[in-house]
Chain A
């Protein structure tokens, strides 16, 4: 559908809609000599927009011999790559054998932890020994009783004297 909007615009827009102004401006004639100036600018412009381009005489010749040149270029690239690789390979000397450190083999894990054969022994503190009164060991009989410390002995004697009737001093009347 190729509809011209001008007719629709003319019917819709009144004289004060402003489109008459735009149409006046759109219909202004181009300045005289515009085409000549554009031609001049085009002639002065650089002809080639290509960044890398062969000269025309080489370009035509190269186009004719393009297959041959492509093959030659491919061969040259292959030669350079292979030659470079060989040069590197031939200069590399194999170094002395390094020391081998044997690492312990890791335990095979079958998933989860294992006890590794360990037996669990609870670490208990040795408690007080109960002395059996009936059966005294020979060690108990032979060993003399331990000496009591001095201070409790004194206290015991003073206690004993307090409970016992003290001799009254004779009072002369």
Chain B
């Protein structure tokens, strides 16, 4: 059990007395530090899946933890820290993407070939796979926002439909219906492009 889990499970209690203000602050800092160690990687991957730029994704993760630091008084009220943190970083990356209409760096096939794993592939196969991935990502960008968001989050193995619903602030049935629509649209888009070639 990590420090943050121990704190919020109840047996490591944050003292609320004003006399122990300093001790309370130190405990909160330790809890935030534990959250960073535990979830920074997951938050980075969520941020990267939307922004597809490593620097921007890292900035988003830092901003998310700075927000947590600013609202550390409410940490004790949070039930599921993982979903809560993913929701924070999700809102940050969507906001950043809306504001900065920059092209993701992984739209370049060569950059994608560099980023994606390439174990056991020849150079030719790697180039072909990178081209396919770039094409898929282009199709994902053509999806409506609601369907695209569900599709992106569903790619994370560790997120259940309930958790996706909690991150997006919708019901679980909405997640399922949006995912169904997203898959159908993706299949049509890919089929259409295949027929054009």
Binding site for B on A (CB under 8 A): 1-6, 9, 12-13, 16-19, 21-31, 34-35, 37-39, 41-42, 45, 49, 56, 59-60, 63-64
B36-71, CB < 8 A from A: 36-37, 40-41, 44-46, 48-49, 52, 54, 58, 61-62, 65-66, 69-71
Closest 10 CB pairs of A and B: A22-B155, A18-B136, A63-B18, A30-B41, A30-B44, A21-B136, A26-B155, A21-B133, A49-B70, A41-B62
Residues of B within 8 A of A22 (CB): 49, 136, 140, 151-152, 155
- Whether the pair A42, B187 counts as a contact (CB closer than 8 A) is no
- A37–chain B nearest beta-carbon distance, Å: 7
- Whether the pair B40, A56 counts as a contact (CB closer than 8 A) is no
Number of cross-chain contacts by CB at 8 Å? 126
- Whether the pair A35, B36 counts as a contact (CB closer than 8 A) is yes
- Known contacts A17-B186, A18-B190; decide if A38 and B40 are in contact (CB<8 Å): yes
In the complex, the chain A residue whose C-beta lies closest to that of B68 is: A42
Binding site for A on B (CB under 8 A): 18-19, 21-22, 32-33, 36-37, 40-41, 44-46, 48-49, 52, 54, 58, 61-62, 65-66, 69-71, 106, 115-117, 132-133, 136-137, 139-140, 151-152, 154-157, 159-164, 172, 175, 179, 183, 186-187, 190
Q: A5-B159, A42-B65 are in contact. List 17 more A-B contacts (CB 8 A).
A: A2-B160, A2-B162, A5-B154, A18-B136, A19-B154, A21-B132, A22-B49, A25-B52, A26-B155, A30-B44, A34-B41, A34-B61, A35-B37, A35-B40, A49-B69, A59-B21, A60-B21
